């Protein structure tokens, strides 16, 4: 049985207006998410954001494995290093293994736009500010186009607020605002803390009517008791 997850719009796999509370969460922080396919845990996705406005370094690491009857039916890994300045991407260097298919994406910002090299070739994008699917940064919610860091494609997006919700993660309850990122291939739902703007969770449809869910085990600047609850049974990869 062949299982294939629709992940090409995950750029680590790979997102509140700048004036909203919590834009400071884009400054630096450490996120680790357990990744579930429906109710089955299949891997992790980690984001490390450090630096300053001059040069913000973002390290992204993802690993998913789907097993059926102890056989590894699908695997996905993604490693990515991005550098940002003033809310815009200045360089990217990403490698993805999508079940044996390798994708390479690299590029840097130039005066006239963004020079990009992918597995399919090289080219230049005419843009003043290129952003990837950087869910850690609320500024992406202002975007109409986003770079897929797996394929190197620039995707048209429509981003809308879906209102406040109570988000339950383990034993912790958060008041969160839900946003939906819609695109030609589907939609991604993301949740941010209503009071502080922290990125809290993600959900997206997978093939076969399934759902991919991100549940946090490490969030930036969590109170100690909250961090202990979230990471209680977490084992770092």
Domain ranges of the chain: 23-230
3 state SS for 130-178? CCECCCCCHHHHHCCEEECCCCCCEEECEEEEEEEEEEEECCEEEEEEE
- Looking at per-residue confidence, does 185 or 33 come out higher? 33
Question: For residue range 132-191, what is the model confidence (pLDDT) as tens digits?
Answer: 999 998 888 999 999 999 999 999 999 999 999 998 877 778 899 999 999 998 999 999
Report whether pLDDT(6) > 50. no
**Run of H or E residues at 228:** helix 224-230
Fold of 23-230: outer membrane lipoprotein receptor (LolB), chain A (2.50.20)
Question: For residue range 96-134, what is the model confidence (pLDDT) as tens digits?
Answer: 999 999 999 999 999 889 999 999 899 999 999 999 999
Percentage of the chain exceeding pLDDT 70: 81
Least confident of 123-127, 153-157, 205-209, 222-226: 222-226
- Looking at per-residue confidence, does 196 or 130 come out higher? 130
Q: How far apart are CA 173 and CA 201, in angstroms?
A: 12
Report whether pLDDT(26) > 80. no
pTM for the model? 0.81
């Amino acid at each position: 049985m062949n299982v294939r997850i629709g992940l090409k719009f995950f750029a680590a796999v790979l997102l509140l207006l700048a004036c909203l509370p919590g834009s400071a969460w884009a400054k630096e922080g450490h996120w680790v998410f357990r990744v579930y396919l429906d109710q089955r845990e299949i891997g992790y996705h980690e984001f490390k954001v450090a630096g300053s406005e001059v040069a913000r370094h973002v390290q992204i690491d993802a690993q998913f494995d789907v097993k059926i009857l102890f056989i590894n039916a699908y695997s996905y890994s993604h490693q990515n290093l991005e550098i940002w300045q003033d809310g815009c991407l200045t360089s990217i260097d990403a490698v993805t293994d999508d079940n044996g298919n390798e994708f390479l994406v690299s590029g840097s910002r130039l005066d006239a736009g963004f020079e990009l090299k992918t597995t399919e070739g090289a080219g230049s994008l005419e843009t003043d500010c290129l952003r990837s699917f950087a869910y850690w940064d609320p500024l992406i919610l202002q975007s109409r186009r986003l770079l897929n860091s797996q394929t190197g494609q620039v995707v048209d997006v429509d981003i809308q607020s879906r209102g406040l919700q109570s988000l339950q993660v383990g034993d912790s309850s958060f008041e969160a605002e839900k946003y939906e990122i819609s695109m030609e291939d589907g939609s991604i739902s993301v949740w941010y803390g209503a009071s502080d703007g922290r990125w809290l969770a993600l959900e997206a449809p997978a093939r076969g009517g399934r759902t991919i869910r991100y549940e946090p085990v490490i969030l930036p600047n969590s109170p100690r008791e909250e961090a202990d609850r979230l990471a209680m049974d977490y084992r770092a990869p």
